[in-house]
Homo-oligomer: A and B are copies of this chain.
Amino acid sequence: MWIPIQINENSAEPLYHQIETQLKSLIISGTIAEGTLLPSIREFAGDLKCSVITVRRVYQDLEVQGLLRTKQGTGTFVSHVGEGAMEEYKRVAVEKALENAVDTALSVQCGEEELNEIFRKIVKDKYGEAK
């Protein structure tokens, strides 16, 4: 099975992290269906031209997050992520990220109005791109 992961060799972002975020996104978006048997760590490592250990780390991390379920000798599968759980998962991720940003705004004494304005601009840009 082929998983579409793009590695940016030049990026400062660690290899395992690039793989992890992209794979996570594929699972959360439902692009890879629940129950799917993912490539073995060796096969995937071959595709990505990285070591088996790096892929293992990704699988382990995502298993801890409840997105994968793994069984020695058999393989690694995409877990069942219920609609509710998935919504919750997304919400928590977004909340954390936004809290962080708002904390930054507070730390530089940015007013509520200005914050709102900047937010609207960025959302418009980013969500516009995607359309």
Q: Chain A interface (Cβ within 8 Å of chain B)?
A: 21, 24-25, 28-29, 89-91, 93-110, 112, 114-116, 118-119, 122-123, 126-127, 130
Find A101's partner among B24, B97, B108, B130 (CB 8 Å cutoff). B97
Whether B130 contacts A106 by the Cβ 8 Å rule is yes
Known: A100-B101, A101-B100, A101-B101. A110 touches B94 (CB 8 A): yes
Question: Which B residue's beta carbon lies closest to that of A93?
Answer: B108
Q: How many copies does the complex hold?
A: 2
Find A127's partner among B89, B112, B119, B123 (CB 8 Å cutoff). B112
CA distance in complex: A115, B119 (Å): 11
Find A94's partner among B28, B89, B99, B105 (CB 8 Å cutoff). B105
Whether B107 contacts A115 by the Cβ 8 Å rule is no
Whether B103 contacts A126 by the Cβ 8 Å rule is yes
Whether A110 contacts B98 by the Cβ 8 Å rule is no
Closest 6 CB pairs of A and B: A97-B101, A97-B104, A101-B101, A90-B108, A98-B101, A94-B105
Could you show 7 A-B contacts with beta carbons less than 8 Å apart? A25-B109, A90-B108, A90-B114, A94-B118, A97-B105, A101-B101, A119-B119
Whether B116 contacts A123 by the Cβ 8 Å rule is yes
